[in-house]
């Protein structure tokens, strides 16, 4: 694990204690306190340092003769461990190694950007506060990993467990599952589907969101940029909710209607649901911390980062269909899930009437043969070439914008080139 990531992870227990402290301060009855502490299925993934157990995620190859299945959920307010099945035998290709899941790119981008802007003048206190802001970004991010089953290869009967938090779950997803009437997310029952939860999950989502503002007040109230922080979070939250709204009404899983789709709608959804919080928010937070006050600096950042975020999401849409599962870490489901993806929108403006009938018949169906028919249609119209042309055009246009950045406003070109270098032609 990199030093930066370890330092970032080490901040999280401090924030969790702050939230629990708020509950104690209000003298919450024990049952309500325990409820909040165990909002477990809206949690991030946890990496364990286990001795003498070996920990690995289900997608990793394993050789072992004795396994137990454990559900472990880490929440902003505590943890929840439950053994759910006895001995499971696997025979795979290589020995397990402890692994860290969750890239934390959004949160770490706050720290990385501040380092660039402050240079050698950055202090330990500034880094600490940047990590706090990074966690609040992870808190509100809507694309975080959800609880998964972890396997542990047991070597002895004694087991000392310590934990590292990987990523906070977004409050957006609690309401998202309710609005979608979803049953599962990543193979686990949705939180509102749990016994005795139901619509209480809506309030749980509000608690998660409000916790961000508790942390901001605790650590940033006395800063000169506190009001700007609050305004930025409210603005980005509103923008994300607008993107979520259009996504929900455009592509409901149980009502496939491709006439609702269009490249313009896809662009709006991507920009408002993803680009603002994933790309603009982390950089703008670091700029506020660095004392950047020139409005032109923020305009320049927005004008570059929003297209970068759009390009990133188009990459995701492409990789969902064409990425190797062993590389991207998942099997793509956009076609079966009726997603308003870049690929289907590009297909819709290129296909013949006969091909449109094929797409209408098979898109959004929970069937591997239907999915294969859609993929064959993509091959027939050479959607890969369309994507590659888009990628090169985006790279050229964004690079030109970066070259024109006026660094006298307080923002640096390096901030944007770092982003571009990380995502250009990525394969996962």
Of the residues 5, 154, 193, 273, which is catalytic? 273
Of the residues 115, 154, 185, 339, which is catalytic? 185
Q: Is 382 a catalytic residue?
A: no
Report the alpha-carbon distance of residue 78 to residue 182 in Å, rounded.
25
Of the residues 112, 317, 320, 334, which is catalytic? 317
**Ramachandran angles phi, psi of 325, nearest 5°:** -55, -35
Separation of CA 83 from chain center: 27
Q: Is 124 a catalytic residue?
A: no
Q: What one-character DSSP code corresponds to residue 168? A: P
Instruction: Enumerate residues 6+ apart whose C-beta is below 8 A from 213.
Output: 230, 233
Q: Is 247 a catalytic residue?
A: yes
Contact 62, 77 (CB under 8 A): no
Question: What is the distance between the terminal CA atoms of the chain, rounded to a whole angstrom?
Answer: 19
* C-alpha closest to that of 270 among 246, 304, 303: 246
Of the residues 112, 177, 247, 334, which is catalytic? 247
Q: Is the dihedral of CA 324, 327, 331, 332 positive or negative?
A: negative
Report the alpha-carbon distance of residue 152 to residue 67 in Å, rounded.
6
Of the residues 204, 316, 320, 334, which is catalytic? 316
As a dihedral over the C-alpha atoms of residue 359, residue 361, residue 366, residue 367, rounded to 10 degrees, the angle is -90
Q: Is 180 a catalytic residue?
A: yes
Q: Is 128 a catalytic residue?
A: no
Report the alpha-carbon distance of residue 11 to residue 139 in Å, rounded.
13
Cβ-in-10-Å burial (0-12, 13-18, 19+) of 280 comes to buried
Q: Tokens 């999280």 identify what position? A: 12
Of the residues 6, 82, 103, 330, which is catalytic? 103
Of the residues 312, 320, 334, 339, which is catalytic? 312
Give how far Cα 181 sits from Cα of 177, 199, 204, 229, 248, Å.
6, 11, 17, 34, 11
Q: Is 317 a catalytic residue?
A: yes
Of the residues 79, 180, 303, 380, which is catalytic? 180
Contact 130, 225 (CB under 8 A): no
Compute how many other C-beta atoms are within 10 angstroms of the C-beta atom of residue 334: 23
* C-alpha closest to that of 72 among 56, 60, 59: 56
Of the residues 176, 177, 320, 334, which is catalytic? 176
Q: Is 171 a catalytic residue?
A: yes
* C-alpha closest to that of 346 among 381, 313, 370, 397: 381
- Here the tokens at position 383 are 């959607």
Q: Is 330 a catalytic residue?
A: no
β-pairing verdict for 149-153 and 54-57: antiparallel
Q: Is 185 a catalytic residue?
A: yes
Report the alpha-carbon distance of residue 91 to residue 104 in Å, rounded.
31
Point out the residues that are catalytic.
103, 171, 176, 180, 185, 247, 273, 312, 316-317
């Amino acid at each position: 694990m990199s030093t930066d990531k370890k330092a970032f992870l080490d901040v999280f227990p401090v924030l969790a204690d702050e939230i629990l402290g708020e509950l104690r301060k209000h003298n919450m009855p024990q049952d309500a306190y325990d409820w909040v502490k165990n909002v477990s299925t809206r949690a991030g993934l946890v990496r364990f340092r286990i001795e003498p157990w070996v920990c690995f995620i289900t997608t990793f190859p394993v050789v072992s003769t004795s396994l137990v299945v454990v559900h472990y959920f880490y929440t902003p307010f505590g943890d929840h461990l439950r053994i759910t099945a006895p001995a499971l035998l696997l025979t795979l290709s290589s020995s397990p190694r402890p692994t860290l899941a969750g890239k934390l790119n959004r949160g770490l981008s706050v720290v990385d950007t501040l380092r660039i802007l402050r240079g050698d003048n950055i202090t330990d206190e500034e880094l600490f506060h940047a990590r706090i802001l990074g966690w609040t970004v992870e808190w509100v991010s809507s694309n975080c990993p959800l609880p998964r089953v972890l396997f542990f290869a047991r070597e002895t009967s004694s087991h000392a467990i310590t934990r590292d938090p990987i990523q906070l779950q977004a409050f957006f997803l609690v309401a998202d599952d309710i609005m979608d009437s979803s049953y599962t997310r990543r193979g686990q029952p949705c939180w509102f589907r749990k016994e005795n939860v139901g619509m209480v999950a809506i309030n749980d989502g509000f608690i998660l969101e409000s916790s961000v503002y508790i942390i901001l007040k605790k650590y940033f109230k006395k800063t000169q940029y506190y009001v700007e922080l609050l305004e930025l979070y409210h603005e980005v939250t509103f923008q994300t909710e607008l993107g979520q709204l259009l996504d929900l009404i455009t592509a409901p899983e149980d009502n496939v209607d491709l006439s609702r789709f269009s490249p313009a709608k896809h662009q709006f959804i991507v920009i408002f649901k993803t680009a603002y919080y994933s790309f603009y928010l982390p950089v703008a937070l670091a700029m506020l911390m660095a004392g950047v006050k020139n409005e032109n600096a923020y305009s320049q950042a927005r004008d570059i980062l929003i297209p970068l975020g759009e390009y990133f999401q188009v990459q995701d849409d492409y990789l969902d269909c064409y990425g190797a599962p062993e590389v991207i870490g998942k099997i793509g489901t956009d076609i079966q899930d009726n997603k308003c993806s870049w690929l289907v929108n590009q297909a819709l403006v290129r296909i013949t009437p006969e091909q449109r009938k094929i797409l209408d018949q098979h898109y959004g169906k929970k069937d591997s043969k239907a999915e294969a028919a859609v993929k064959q249609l993509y091959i027939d119209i050479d959607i890969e070439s369309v994507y590659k042309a888009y990628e090169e055009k985006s790279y050229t246009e964004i690079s030109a914008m970066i070259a024109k950045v006026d660094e006298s406003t307080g923002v640096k070109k390096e901030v944007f080139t770092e982003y571009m270098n990380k995502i250009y032609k990525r394969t996962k």
